[in-house]
Structure 1
Amino acid sequence: MDQFKVINDTCGHIAGDELLRQLGALLGNSTRKSDTLARLGGDEFAILVEDCELEKAESIANEIKELVSQFQFIWESQIFTVGVSIGVTMVTSHTRDRTEALKQADSACYAAKNSGRNRVYIYQEQDQQLTTQKGEFKWVNEIKDALAENRFELYAQPIVSTTTGFLEMYEVLVRLRNKAGQLFPPGAFLSSAERYNLSERIDKWVVSHVFEWLEQHYTLLPHLKYLAINLSGASLGKEDMLSFINTKLSSASFRREMIKFEITETAAIGNLKQAHYFIDSLSKLGCQFSLDDFGSGLSSFAYLKNLPVQSIKIDGMFVKDMHVDPLDYEMVKSINDIGHVMGLETIAEFVENEEIWQKLKAIGVDYGQGYHLGKPEPIAGILHHAKTIAPVA
């Protein structure tokens, strides 16, 4: 069911349960006596349609989709419309067992969701989208296992001052080590985590372990300004995540300003009201915020006025070629100038060579981050750098 979570979160679990009951009754009345209707769990239902060709099954699925689209759920004077994403698969003599049939239907259902929701998707063996999805499913299991077995690891990349060159700030990055010992960067698994609602669990793991590490070592880091922690769009504005961070902070001894949360511009714009509340709540406790990938969204500067952040990270898509592309150079310069007018610190990502670094210094960008200045390394490396505070460039 599409939008079930919205209704469940907005109106509560009792409303969610009633919606499921009404939808179940609606589906029951629309199926034949020979068909089997079952609730698989959560907001997922399955219908086994016997003695039916694929064309007819697709027609039935579309009829159900239209029926649900016309259905209105009323709760405490509020009217909600819902939709369904439906996956269809044929059970033939080649289908090994019911588990395989359910996997195929589930895969097609997710493809329907990913294609825009409220639609029907037919499972086909050689479908490229389903093949891609199958790879993502493998990551889902890998992520769940890594969370259960504590196989994520913290790395840190320095954020360097353009004026002093000191290592006083770091962005914390997460890595996943599989059972064979191979280490994977976030780009390999985070898209799957976001797609299958696992990113919030990863965020909690990172927050918990960063706080724990900082609690153990902050007395050895007198010059550390902050550690930057990335939060996904799924976590932004969630009361559960807010409560989780509050609880962790309440038992911490380190200075709250030693924690800076990074949120992407697109995630903030997509949940502007929630983002503002989330940022404001943690800012009052002393935490800092940075808007990541700034310049990648629409109307960036207009939204910036409404978000109480302390810094912006200029999108690397503009920085990486600014030494050879005049337009990119001017974009970086403009973002930096407006950021400073608003009283914000500016950080440039993707500093990959000395030429870029020197241009950032000339423009007056406050900080840089990239492989030219320092590669990500295990977080324990911060302790080594703390013993020898010296410019890197």
Structure 2
Amino acid sequence: FFLYHQEMIPLQEASADGFRTEFLVRLRDGDDTVPPGAFIPAAERFGLMPRIDRRVIELAFAYLDRTGLGRESTGTFFINLSGSSLSDGELFHFINSKVQEYSILPARICFEITETSAIAHLNDTIGFIERARHEGFEFALDDFGTGMSSFTYLKALPIDYLKVDGGFIQNLLDDPIDMGIVDACNRIGHAAGLKTIAEFVESDEVKDCLIKLGFDYAQGYGIKMPVPLNK
């Protein structure tokens, strides 16, 4: 396994308070790079995602230690956690041990969890988030808007960022229902005191619309392409 990353950009002047990027896992097979969609479903089926998540955490923390970015006063680095990891009672201790090993500041790390995973493991998720946030870590709820009870569960989850599902963002300009959903997600996120992120932003027109809607950050192929970590 090795890491790519994909940057996010601020859409509002008040949001320009530091560098943000998301770590993305890839699998090396000889000279080929295997995308996550080709191996994560199998890893989930065979219960391997907690091991992969731990490997990603270690690779990310090692990079932040090596570059010194994990000890800077600003900057946020997003790391995805699978639903099965949220039920891993030892993950919190593993993360804390790696923080000590690599001498990074927890405040530089934001763990991403998908809405469906959070809901499926709600009690475990809330417990894990509360313990980790007490240490200084941040949390983002990914793919927001896909669940039937999104707004209800949002009130129960102690998070910092809301990432609106890219399926709604992609059709924002052509579908008034998607426009309404995206606008509502942003307004509810801000009402809850959260920073909002739009993913799958693929054009300047969509980006300009998101600026007008008041989104805080944008991520997608029209913003920055994913690149290998050391580039």
TM-score (norm 1): 0.56
Shift of 1:314: 0.1
Structure with larger Rg? 1
Matched, 1:158 2:7: yes
SS of the aligned residue for 1:228 comes to: strand
Q: CA deviation at 1:254?
A: 2.3
Residues 357 and 368 in structure 1, CA contact (< 8 A), matched pair in contact too: yes
Contact 1:154/1:174 (CA < 8 Å) preserved in 2?
Answer: yes
Q: Could you tell me which amino acid in structure 2 is paired with residue 245 of structure 1?
A: I
Counting matched residue pairs gives: 229
Q: Distance in 2 between matches of 1:219 and 1:255?
A: 9
Query: Which residue in the other structure is 1:316 paired with?
Result: 166
Matched, 1:299 2:131: no
Unaligned runs of 5+ in 1: 1-151, 382-393
CA offset at residue 237 of structure 1? 3.0
- Match of residue 290, structure 1, among 111, 130, 140: 140
Give the distance between the partners of 1:223 and 1:314, measured in 2 at CA. 27
Give 1:220 shift.
9.0
* SS of alignment partner, residue 220 of structure 2: coil
The answer to whether the Cα contact below 8 Å between 2:71 and 2:105 also exists between their aligned partners in 1 is: no
Aligned residue in 2 for 1:171: 22
Instruction: State the 1:379 CA deviation.
Output: 1.3
CA deviations over 1:301-330 (Å, ceiling 9, x no partner): 111111110011000110001011111111
Please tell me whether residue 226 in structure 1 is matched to residue 76 in structure 2.
yes
Alignment of 1:50-199 (within 5 A): 152-164=1-13, 168-179=19-30, 181-199=31-49
3-state DSSP class of the match of 1:251?
Answer: helix
Change (3 A) 1:221 1:157: farther
Residue among 87, 90, 93 paired with 1:240? 90
Deviation at 1:298, TM superposition (A): 2.0
Aligned equivalent of 1:281: 131
Contact 1:227 1:258 in 2 (8 A): yes
For the residue of structure 2 that corresponds to 1:235, the secondary structure is helix
User: For each residue in 1:23-64, what CA deviation from the matched residue of structure 2 results, as whole angstroms up to 9, or x when unmatched?
Assistant: xxxxxxxxxxxxxxxxxxxxxxxxxxxxxxxxxxxxxxxxxx
Distance 2:195 2:211 in 1: 14
**Higher relative contact order (Cα pairs below 8 Å, separated by 6+ residues):** 2
RMSD over aligned Cα, in angstroms? 1.7
Gaps of 5+ in 2: none
Shift of 1:337: 0.2
